Amino acid sequence: MFGFTPELVDLSTDFCNLVHMTASTSLTSLVLHGVPVVPGVQYAPVIRPGKLPDIDVGTAADVAEADRAAEGERFSAAAATVATRLRERAGHATGAASEVLAATAMLAQDRAWLGATEKRIKDGAPAVRAVAGAVDQFVDMFTKMGGLMAERVTDLRDIRDRVIAELKGLPEPGVPMPDEPSILCAEDLAPADTAGLDPSLVVALATTLGGPTSHTAIIARQLGIPCVVAVHGLDDVAAGTPVLVDGTLGTVTVSPDEGAAREAVAEAQRIAAQAAKWSGPGATADGHAVAVLANVQDGAAARSARETPAEGVGLFRTELCFLNTDTEPTVDEQAAIYAEVLDAFGGHKVVIRTLDAGSDKPLKFAGHPDEANPALGVRGIRIAEGNPGLLEHQLDAIAAAATSTGNQPWVMAPMIATATEAQNFAAKARDRGLTPGVMIEVPAAALLAERILEHVDFLSIGTNDLAQYTMAADRMSADLATLTDPWQPAVLALVAMTVRAGAATGKPVGVCGEAAADPLLACVLTGFGVTSLSAASAAVQGVGAKLAQVTLEQCRAAADAVLATANAADARAAALAVLG
Ligand code: PEP
Ligand code: MG
C-alpha cells in the first residue's frame, strides 16, 4: 500500500543494509533511509540549492581604525538589504510560507547578532569575518540549547550566507528554479528557500539534517509535498540523479527502475485519492470503532481540523500558543484561546494538554533551572513545582472556557512519571469539574499504568517521547532516528502494556504521538486495543481510510507479529505482511 513494489525495496532489510537489487531489471538501487515527515511518493530528478562559494574569512587583515565606521555601515546596509528582500518575498507568499519569510527577515535584523557583528567590526574584523564569527557564536549557543532552538541554526546560517553574498557582491545563494518537476535535496533547507517553492515544480523534499519540526518539515506539510528528513547518505546524490522519495516509509531510492518508480507514484496517488473519500467515523472494516481525532495547537488549526472527518481533538498542545509570550497570560486571555478550540469542536470530544514547557519547547514565563540535559530535566508537569500557580491558573482558564462554550473538555498532564503525580493532577482537575487524564510518555508511567489509572479517567500515549525515553535516544537527533522510530518493538511493548491496563480498568487509552499518524501503525495500535488515534489533520483521512480496509482480527494479528520482531524495520515489515 505504500507504493513500493516488493521488488524495489525489501522492507525487512536492516537499516544499515542500504543496497537493494531490483529483481525486474537487475539494476542496483540504493535505498537511503531517513525520517518520514510528509507522506506521499514522487519520482523526479534531484536539484540542489546553490551554495555560497567558500570564503576564507580567517586570513583577511584587520581593518584600519579609521575605516572601521565605514565597514560597520557597509555591514548594516547589507543586513538591511537582505531583510528587505526577505520581507518583500514574504509579501508575495501566503500562509506559513509568508510567516516563515517574515520571521527570517526579522532574524536578519535581530539586535543581538547585529550588535555582536558590529562589536567585532569595531574591534577591527572585516565585515565578512565579523558576520561569520558572530553567527558561529549564536549557532554554538542555539545548538547547546537543543530542540527547537537548535533547529533555528539553519535560519541563522542562511542569513549569514545571504549577508556575506551581499557584502561580496555575489548572487544570492538559494534554490534554482527548475524547468521540470524536480526533487529538492539538500543538507538542510533554509526557510527563505523553502518558503518560495512552487509545489508543481518542486514535488518532494529530502534533507540530510533536520527534524520533524524543522522549517523544511513545516513548509513541506503546508505545500503538501512528500518530505523525508535526516536521510543518511543523501549528500552523495548528485543533482540530476533520478530518485524516488517515499514520505511515508522515509526512504529515498537512488536511480530506481523507472517503470517501477512510476508505478509506485501512481499507486500512492490512487491511495491518496481513496483516502480523500473517507468521511469517518473511525472503524475497522468489520465495524470495530476507534475514534480518529486531530492534534491541534490553536483555534485556527482546530477550525481547519474541523473540515476533516476528525471526530474531535485528541491533543491540544497548549504550550505552542505561548512560545513567543514573555509573561504568563492571564486566566481570561488563556480562556479565550482555549474557547476557540472548544467552539470549533462544539459537541465533540476535546482533550486539552496542560503546558508541556521545557526541553525543546521553552516558555519564557515558565522559568526552569539551567540544565545540562533539558530533555531529562524540569519539563512538562515538573514545571508546575517551580512555578506556583501556573498549573492552577491554566486549569481555571480551561474550566472558564468550558463554561463559556458549554463544551466540557478532558484535561491531561504531560510527562507524568509516578502515580502520585497523576493523583495530584487529578485532584486539581476534579476540583474544577474537569475530567482528568495523563499522558504516557515515560516508561515508568507505562509500567505502572494500572496504578495511575486508579486516579485518572483516561490515558493518552505520547509515542514521540515514549520512544525517546525508552530507547535513550534524543528525538531531535538525525543520527538516532532509527532508534526513536515508534515501530521499535520495545516502544510497542510498552504501548501494549499501557493498553492492557486500560482494558483491565475499563478506561479509555488513546495514542496522540506521531505513531497514530502512520496508517499502518494505527492499525497495529488498534490491534493492541487503543480506543482513539489522534494525528495531525493532514493524516486523519489516510489513517481512517486504512483502518476501514482491515478487520480487527488482522489488526490483532499484526499487533502480535510486531511484538515478536527484533527491530523497527522488521516490525514494519511484519505488519505490512498481515495488513497489506
Ligand atoms: C508525544 O511525546 O508523543 C507527544 C504527543 O507530545 P509532544 O510531541 O508534544 O512532546
Ligand atoms: Mg511529548
CB under 8 Å to 551, separation ≥6 — which residues?
Answer: 284, 285, 286
Ligand 1, atom 1: closest residue by C-alpha:
462
**Residue 259 Cα distances to 65, 116, 237, 382, 515, angstroms:** 66, 55, 21, 54, 31
Q: Higher-confidence residue: 174 or 26?
A: 174
Strand partners, 435: 410
Strand partners, 204: 183
Residue of 293, 296, 317 to test ligand 1 pocket, by largest number of atoms within 8 Å of CB:
317
Residue range 392-398: mean pLDDT, rounded:
98
Q: Is the pLDDT reported for residue 490 higher than 80? A: yes
**Residue 536 Cα distances to 2, 292, 313, angstroms:** 19, 11, 10
Ligand 1 atom nearest to 468, measured from its CA: 2
Q: Torsions phi, psi of 329, nearest 5?
A: -65, 150
Residue range 133-159: mean pLDDT, rounded:
81
CB 511 within 8 A of CB 523: no
Distance CA 369, CA 378 (A): 7
Type of residue found at 155: D
At 410-448, the pLDDT tens digits run 999 999 999 999 999 999 999 999 999 999 999 999 999
* Ligand 2: centre distance to CA 414 (Å): 7
Ligand 1, atom 3: closest residue by C-alpha:
462
Ligand 1, atom 10: closest residue by C-alpha:
465
* Ligand 2: centre distance to CA 465 (Å): 5
Q: Is the pLDDT reported for residue 8 higher than 70? A: no
Confidence (pLDDT) at 9: 26
CA 393, distance to chain mean position in Å, is 28
* Ligand 1: centre distance to CA 498 (Å): 16
Q: Which ligand approaches the C-alpha of residue 296 most closely?
A: 1
Q: Count Cβ atoms below 10 Å from residue 60 Cβ, excluding itself.
A: 13
**Residue 369 Cα distances to 19, 52, 383, angstroms:** 46, 39, 10
Ligand 1 atom nearest to 512, measured from its CA: 5
Distance CA 352, CA 342 (A): 9
| Model pTM score | 0.69
Band the pLDDT of 370: cuts 50, 70, 90: confident
Strands across the sheet containing 35-38: 19-21, 28-33, 251-254, 242-246, 41-47, 182-186, 202-207, 227-229, 35-38
Band the pLDDT of 7: cuts 50, 70, 90: very low
Confidence (pLDDT) at 360: 73
Band the pLDDT of 395: cuts 50, 70, 90: very high
Domains and CATH numbers, the chain: 6-49+176-269 (3.50.30.10), 65-168 (1.10.274.10), 278-579 (3.20.20.60)
The mean pLDDT of the chain is 87
- Ligand 1 pocket residues where CB is under 6 Å: 315, 317, 356, 441, 462-465, 512-513
Helix/strand/coil (H, E, C) string of 359-400? Answer: CCECCCCCCCCCCCCHHHCCCHHHHHHHCCCHHHHHHHHHHH
Tell the burial category of 187 from Cβ atoms under 10 Å away from its Cβ (0-12, 13-18, 19+): middle
* Cell output for 133: 564569527
Q: 372-376 long-range contacts, Cβ below 8 Å, gap at least 24?
A: 374/145, 374/146, 374/147, 375/146, 375/147, 375/468, 375/474, 375/475
Q: Is the pLDDT reported for residue 570 higher than 50? A: yes
Residue range 186-199: mean pLDDT, rounded:
76
Q: Which ligand approaches the C-alpha of residue 536 most closely?
A: 1
State in Å, rounded, how far the first CA of the chain is from the last one. 6
* Ligand 1: centre distance to CA 491 (Å): 14
Band the pLDDT of 35: cuts 50, 70, 90: confident
Residues composing the chain: 580
* Ligand 1: centre distance to CA 414 (Å): 8
Residue range 340-344: mean pLDDT, rounded:
98
The residue among 394, 389, 465, 402 whose CA lies nearest residue 435 is: 402
CB 445 within 8 A of CB 411: no
* Ligand 1: centre distance to CA 32 (Å): 26
In the three-class reduction of DSSP (H, G, I as helix; E, B as strand; rest coil), residue 281 is classed as coil
Distance CA 422, CA 501 (A): 15
* Cell output for 399: 474550566
Confidence (pLDDT) at 170: 82
Ligand 1, atom 9: closest residue by C-alpha:
317
Q: How is the chain split among helix, strand and coil, in percent rounded to 5?
A: 50, 15, 35
Q: Which ligand approaches the C-alpha of residue 415 most closely?
A: 2
Q: Is the pLDDT reported for residue 508 higher than 60? A: yes
Band the pLDDT of 18: cuts 50, 70, 90: very low
At 221-251, the pLDDT tens digits run 777 799 998 888 999 999 999 999 998 778 9
Residue with cell 502520585: 420
Residue of 465, 495, 518, 532 to test ligand 1 pocket, by largest number of atoms within 8 Å of CB:
465
**Residue 573 Cα distances to 194, 281, 490, angstroms:** 33, 28, 16
The DSSP annotation for 399-458 comes to HHHHHHHS---EEEESS--SHHHHHHHHHHHHHTT-EEEEEE-SHHHHHTHHHHTTT-SE
Ligand 1 atom nearest to 461, measured from its CA: 3
Give catalytic residue positions. 215, 512
Q: How many helices (H) and strands (E) does the chain have?
A: 22, 17
Residue range 69-97: mean pLDDT, rounded:
86
Instruction: Tell me the pairing of strands 35-38 and 227-229.
Output: antiparallel
